[in-house]
């Protein structure tokens, strides 16, 4: 199963549509949390919002978690031991207020267990290798105090 989540602040119809298109061509269950998006998927199970327990269960049960480029989802995936593919919202497409998520992809890609995509091709390439995607090493997961301090410092200062 693949779990897709776009967060709760903004819809991310491009990601939901791409995952729906992918699911139409593949025999893999996909469950998505789509927020207030206008695009309603035809080939995947979807929910506007999920309670915390179900959300975390979906992350834990998923072969891969596909998400907007949000730190909360990256931390949750690492805690659950689930590989995550993150796709950034793009300002030029009206998906966000600025392009901070594009900048974030550069350093997110350096975290083990985190795979990044900014295009359909990159997303589909990762999905084509689900069986090879690895979760974060247990010593590098969000429960690790050194990693947590590193991430907090980066968010606060923008420096590694």
pLDDT for res 128: 97
Burial string for 34-54 (b: 16+ CB within 10 Å, else e) reads bbebeeebeebebeeebeeee
φ and ψ at residue 121, rounded to 5 degrees: -60, -45
Rounded distance, CA 156 to CA 58, Å? 30
Tokens for 121, please give them: 């091709």
Superfamily of domain 2-157: Glycogen Phosphorylase B; (3.40.50.2000)
Residue 1 predicted with pLDDT over 90:
yes
pLDDT digits (tens, 9 = 90+) for 8-55: 877 899 999 999 999 999 999 999 999 999 999 999 999 999 999 999
Q: Edge to edge, what strands does the sheet with 2-5 contain? A: 45-47, 30-33, 2-5, 64-68, 84-87, 114-117
Residue 67: its H or E element: strand 64-68
Portion of the chain with pLDDT greater than 70, in percent? 76
**Mean pLDDT estimate for the chain:** 85
Per residue, the 3-state secondary structure of 29-66, as one string, reads CEEEECCCCCCCCCCCEEECCCCHHHHHHHHHHCCEEE
| Residue positions counted in the chain | 160
């Amino acid at each position: 199963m693949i779990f897709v989540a776009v967060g709760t602040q903004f819809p991310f119809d491009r990601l939901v549509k791409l995952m729906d298109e992918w699911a139409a061509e593949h025999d893999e269950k996909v469950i998505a949390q789509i927020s207030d998006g206008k695009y309603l998927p035809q080939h995947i199970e979807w929910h506007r919002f999920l309670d915390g327990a179900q959300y975390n269960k979906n992350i834990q049960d998923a072969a891969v978690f596909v998400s907007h480029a949000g730190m909360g989802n990256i931390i949750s995936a690492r805690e659950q031991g689930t590989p995550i593919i993150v796709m950034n919202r793009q300002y030029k497409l009206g998906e966000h207020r600025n392009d901070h998520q594009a900048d974030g992809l550069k350093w997110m890609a350096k975290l083990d267990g985190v795979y990044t995509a900014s295009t359909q091709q990159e997303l589909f390439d990762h999905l084509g290798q689900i069986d090879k995607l690895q979760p974060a090493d247990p010593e590098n997961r969000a429960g690790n105090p050194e990693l947590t301090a590193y991430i907090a410092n980066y968010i606060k200062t923008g420096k590694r």
